[in-house]
Amino acid sequence: MARTSQPLRPRSNLRGAPALRLRVGFVLIAMVLSFFGARLVQLQGIDPGSYAAMAAAEGMVNVVLPAARGDILDRNGEPLADSVDGLMVVADPYMTIDQAPEIAKFLARRLDVDYFTTLQRLRTQGSRFEYIARRVPSTLATDVVKAATEHGFKGIATRRDPVRDYPAGDVAANLIGFLGTDEPLSGLERTFNAQLAGKDGSARYEVGGGNVIPLGQNTVTKATNGADLHTTIDRDLSWYAQRVLRQTVEDAQADSGVAVIMDSKTGELLAVADHPTFDANAPLESPQADLGSRAMQDVYEPGSVEKVLTLSALIDAGKVTARTRLTVPGSLARQDRVIHDWFPHGNIRLTLAGVIAKSSNIGTVLAAGKFKAGQLRSYLVKFGLGQQTDIGVRGESAGILPDPSLWTPQAQDRIAFGQSLSVNAVQMAAAVNTIANGGVRVAPSLIEGSATTEDGSVVGTDTTTTRRVISESAAHQMALMMERVVDPEVGVAPAAAVPGYRVAGKTGTAQRVGADCGCYDGTFTVSFAGFAPADDPRFTIYVVVQNPRNGGGGGSVAGPAFSKMMSYALRRYAVPPTGTRPSHLPVVW
């Protein structure tokens, strides 16, 4: 039986229905937009802080790469200041924010940092890198981070950060200066900071989930380390001078003292010592008054050391010679006052050499009366008085040399023997060194080569200047006269002699002006300046002691210190005796 065939009906194809596909698509889009809208409301209105922190965890970190500071070196390359391994302690606020008070308390106790400043840094929003402490000794920094981890604190770490070290302690500390936490505070450290500091580098890298992304963005700019600063200082000689000076000040029960050791030919400063001084590794443990350079910043009246300038100028002017004869009375009435000598006497007959050997104020004033008006002041200016030496030490005083309008006959009498004018120690050492250098003043220098100060001045041995002040003959005569000062038979300072060597020198004792009254207050400055070998000078040394309470003068207080320092310097530099006979210029007639 045959079946009746029926037509086939096409099956329904939902996927192919255009209207249905559109409806489904709109529904899906609406769902996605609703989800993003809800997230936007949540991010901007409900919990912005936590999501900002999460975003910070997925960002860029900027880290400073500190430059190594240049060394400050002595003339032999020995470090006076250098940088040793150290660390900075840093924090990641993303990881410390929840425990910030506890961590801040811990770090303040262990690192001696301010609690509130540290707390603020630990809570810094959006930051992944904050300093907690700079230039921490490596051992301490490592111990602190280890202890923090043991306490369960996260986000505390270390980075390289060189620490400034002063291996010689107090040697030349008053010149070298020291650093604060983030900047140099005094001395050569500050004056030449631009050269020493270098330039910090930086690192910028991408983090995710609190970790560095290995293949993420990473940019490093290397640090440029600072350049070394070479000085003319001899560290070992300075160490010795510092110790001798300290003992001298303590034995004399004095307030303070300075010592300057100079190369007679070049003007290079081999030692500039101060006492009291400070340890540059712990400057805050010393009084503020001891942190500067007394040799450069303090001024005082030089006393009788000035006589070698006065009388050598007079010889140069052709007014006198070393053998000029003077009758010196026991007192001298001059204008507004009576001038006396340090020792009582009646009329004595001294040569000009005798005036120096006996350190006679009256004899000096009588001789200085031969100057023409303005002549003595002109010479003292050429010797460098009343002017800064400009060797590169901040705060240097120029001293006080009275203006010509104030240069009365009375003032000249006092200035001739070292009162009524003021100097600093390096300035006066350079003036006396003019005689040692054959009458040519060579500018003192502290920096080898050249370097630029913070005010743009270029200083150093490359810029040393010279000028003739007195003739070679006048300088030679004065050197012979100064030898008589240390002669045990006729001089006032035999304790300044150096066995085996010819020594030329001069004592100084001057009244001091009190800070409270602005008048001479009964205290004194005592000093000794000289050079050796006297007939072929190698070193000039100047020792100054303020307010000795043991009753001593320049010859008995400063003279022995000069002898010790000069003896050490001559031995250290293997300077042989000249083997010639010392001066025997007559001192009386």
Active centre residues (catalytic): 304
- Output b/e per residue, 424-463; b: 16+ Cβ within 10 A: bbbbbbbbbbbbbbbbbbbbbbbbbeebbbeeeeebbbee
What tokens were used for 63?
């880290």
How far apart CA 325 and CA 363 sit, in angstroms, is 10
- The overall longest dimension of the chain from CA atoms, in Å, is 178
How far apart CA 272 and CA 242 sit, in angstroms, is 8
With both helix axes pointing from N to C terminus, report the angle between 375-383 and 409-416 in degrees, rounded to the nearest 10.
40
How far apart CA 97 and CA 410 sit, in angstroms, is 76
Angle at 480 between CA 479 and CA 484, to 5 degrees: 110
How far apart CA 289 and CA 282 sit, in angstroms, is 15
How far apart CA 45 and CA 543 sit, in angstroms, is 77
Please, is 163 exposed, middle or buried when counting C-beta atoms within 10 Å of its C-beta (0-12, 13-18, 19+)?
A: buried
How many other CB atoms are found less than 10 A from the CB of residue 270? 26
In one letter, which amino acid is 73? Answer: L
Whether the bond between 494 and the residue before it is cis, its omega within 30 degrees of 0, is no
Confirm if 127 and 77 have CB atoms less than 8 A apart.
Answer: no
In one letter, which amino acid is 394? Answer: R
Angle at 396 between CA 391 and CA 397, to 5 degrees: 130
Q: Of 178, 147, 148, give the one whose Cα is nearest residue 164.
A: 178
Q: Among all chains, which residue has been given the structure tokens 């001696």?
A: 112
DSSP string for 496-562: G--TTS--EEEEEEEEEE-TTTSSEEEEEEEEEEEEESTTS--EEEEEEEE--SSS--IIIIIHHHH
Q: Among all chains, which residue has been given the structure tokens 């070290």?
A: 165
Confirm if 301 and 422 have CB atoms less than 8 A apart.
Answer: yes
Beta bridge partners, 88, equal 159
Confirm if 235 and 76 have CB atoms less than 8 A apart.
Answer: yes
With both helix axes pointing from N to C terminus, report the angle between 361-368 and 409-416 in degrees, rounded to the nearest 10.
130
Q: 229-230 and 72-73 as β-strands: parallel, antiparallel, unpaired?
A: parallel
How far apart CA 179 and CA 187 sit, in angstroms, is 9
